[in-house]
Chain A
Amino acid sequence: MKTILNVKNLTKNFGGLCAVSNVSMTINEGELIGLIGPNGAGKTTLFNLLTGVYEPSSGLIELMDQNKSIQIGGLKPYKITNLGVARTFQNIRLFKSMTVLENVKVAMHKNIRYGTLAAILRLPTYYKEEKWVEEKAEELLKEVGLYSLRNELATNLPYGKQRRLEIARALAIQPKILYLDEPAAGMNPQETKELTELIDHIREKYKLTVILIEHDMSLVMKICERIYVLNYGKMIANGTPEEIKQNEFVVKAYLGEEI
């Protein structure tokens, strides 16, 4: 299997607090990875490091791009995104005052080539590319089942659908790696089941490597091929769902130690 992401000794300090400490992971192309850990373990901080929101205090993040390894630690977020890394947010961050369709179109920014002048003069490139964007965005909305709501404002969607729109928006980036930060948070069992199917489907269809943070253990154990466990900023275990269930450190982290 080919490695797509290689994280070496990644550390992030906030003043005296070490939020992520010496974390290493190797992710292979096409894998579905779960990232779990108690609240405050540093999972979202790790995502923020991997997507460029935070600059690492030390350590390396290597992204493989056509057999070339690129050091992305500390790059600006938009540059990392444009290398094919997309994410969703734990607390939904859609562009609320824009329509569902526009939310998806925004994420296609880097794939649109026409310049301002071409747009003002309405040259054929403008029409051609906007048409392509429109079609592509509609296709993605069909994929997540939001096509009929495409002209609604994002803020008017119910919660579960907003989460789906975040996924569609992330897909519009045409990513190789997709980070999902608690995609099932606040969903009822039925919605979670549909979401699980959606994740499986898009992963297959777009040949994605997916890394997800989730507290819903049934979801994680069901779909993840490998699981990494964080606790107090340290990676305490990794392995298949079966291995993780048996791991005494993980059980301790979640249930506390016996006295």
Chain B
Amino acid sequence: MTAFLQQLVNGLSLGSIYALIALGYTMVYGIIKLINFAHGDIYMLGAYCAFLITTYCGLGFIPALLISMVFCGVVGVLIERIAYKPLRHATRITALITAIGVSYVLEYATQYIMGSEVRTYPKLLTSASFHLGPVTITMQQVYIFVITVILMIVLQFIVQKTKMGRAMRAVSVDEDAARLMGIDVDKTISFTFLLGSALAGVAGVLVGIYYNSINPLMGMTPGLKAFIAAVFGGIGSIPGAMIGGLFIGIAETMVTAYGSSLYKDAIVYIILILILILKPAGLLGKNVREKV
């Protein structure tokens, strides 16, 4: 039982990070029906940005986190403007392939500029830990979990209760009608990329701190897993992405602990296959039927 609780704690912190990335996938899909495969690399850029700031400018955790968020947000908006906007009325597959291209550009540009070696992350947060009964919880895990929960509440608030959120939801239902209601659709889409990418940036910083090492290709696997988390929760649904992220994180840790770490990636893909067979719309997704 102790081991189980311990793994649950570990799984929650990993899952929080997946959830943060999954939110970006789901929001972008919700608004322009694009799976932004470059999203995992934005997360990598977030990790590198904070790495540079803390290593070379000597800033602490909070400023590094904020600057990374802004940096990733801006990069996300630029990517949308340069790569996706011209293709908005093209077939969906065109934008999808472009997203894969953007992903490679980000990975290898980073490799070119920063070198391909693994970098060691500076110690930004205390590595202290405390005991809750038999379970050991590190302060880093607490930070990860608390930051994620706060960001999710803020995001949910923005989407449900503010004018920007209303505009985002309106654009996601009917872009043309939204435009005729006085909404600047381009600005709203940019705003969505800004939010999603900033969250991915946070995830990057947190992972850098948690695992202590970063490299230019670090975004690939977590990016894919977060995508699966978004599909699991129902792509386009924000609460779905949160639940999906936590579920995938916990499943992965449990398999590592009780099965074999060899299968920790496999389990995630098995979940994807199962969800696509059993409930293709995802846990909270709506089953949309095409009207004939």
Q: Is A53 an interface residue (CB 8 A)?
A: yes
- Residues in A with CB closer than 8 Å to B177 are 89, 93-95
Neighbouring B residues of A76 by C-beta, 8 Å = 179, 184
Per the 8 Å Cβ criterion, residues 31-70 of A in contact with B are 51-53
Q: Does A120 contact B (CB under 8 A)?
A: yes
Q: Is the CB of B166 within 8 A of A109?
A: yes
Per the bound structure, the CA–CA distance linking A51 and B179 in Å amounts to 10
Q: Residue on A with the closest CB to B181?
A: A107
Q: How large is the interface on A (under 10, 10 to 19, 20 to 34, 35 or more residues)?
A: 20 to 34
Given contacts A106-B167, A112-B163, A130-B161, contact A93 B182 (CB under 8 A): no
Question: Do A110 and B162 have beta carbons less than 8 Å apart?
Answer: no
Give chain A nearest CB distance to B25 CB in angstroms.
20
Are B170 and A95 in contact, with the CB atoms below 8 A?
yes
- Chain A, residues 85-106, CB within 8 Å of chain B (1/0): the string is 0110100011111100010011
Bound: A82/B179 CA distance, A: 10
Please tell me if the beta carbons of A51 and B180 are within 8 angstroms of each other in the complex: yes
7 additional A-B pairs beyond A95-B170, A105-B163, beta carbons within 8 Å, are: A52-B180, A76-B179, A78-B183, A93-B176, A94-B177, A105-B166, A120-B157
Write the nearest CB–CB distance from A110 to chain B, whole angstroms: 5
Tell me, yes or no, whether A25 is within 8 Å of chain B by CB: no
- For residue B154, CB closer than 8 A to chain A, the reply is yes
Count of B interface residues, CB-CB < 8 Å: 24
A76 to B179, CA, bound (A): 8
- Closest residue of chain A to B174 (Cβ to Cβ) is A93
Q: Does B31 contact A (CB under 8 A)?
A: no
Q: Which residue, B174, B177, B178, B181, has most C-beta atoms of chain A within 10 A?
A: B181
B267: Cβ under 8 A from any A Cβ: no
The 6 lowest CB-CB distance pairs between A and B, nearest first, are A81-B182, A93-B177, A119-B162, A107-B181, A77-B179, A95-B173
Could you tell me if A87 and B180 are in contact, using CB atoms closer than 8 angstroms? Answer: yes
CB of A257, distance to nearest CB on chain B (Å): 38
Sampled A-B contacts (19; CB under 8 Å):
A51-B180, A52-B180, A76-B179, A78-B182, A78-B183, A86-B180, A93-B177, A95-B177, A97-B173, A98-B166, A98-B169, A105-B163, A105-B166, A106-B166, A108-B163, A114-B163, A116-B158, A116-B162, A119-B161
Given contacts A106-B178, A116-B162, A119-B162, are A97 and B169 in contact (CB under 8 A)? yes
* A112 to chain B: closest residue by CB: B163
Verify B181–A106 contact, CB threshold 8 A.
yes
Also in contact, A106 and B183, with CB within 8 A (given A95-B170, A97-B169, A119-B162): yes
A226 lies within 8 A of chain B by Cβ: no
CA distance A87 to B180 in the complex (A): 8
A40 to nearest B CB, angstroms?
A: 21
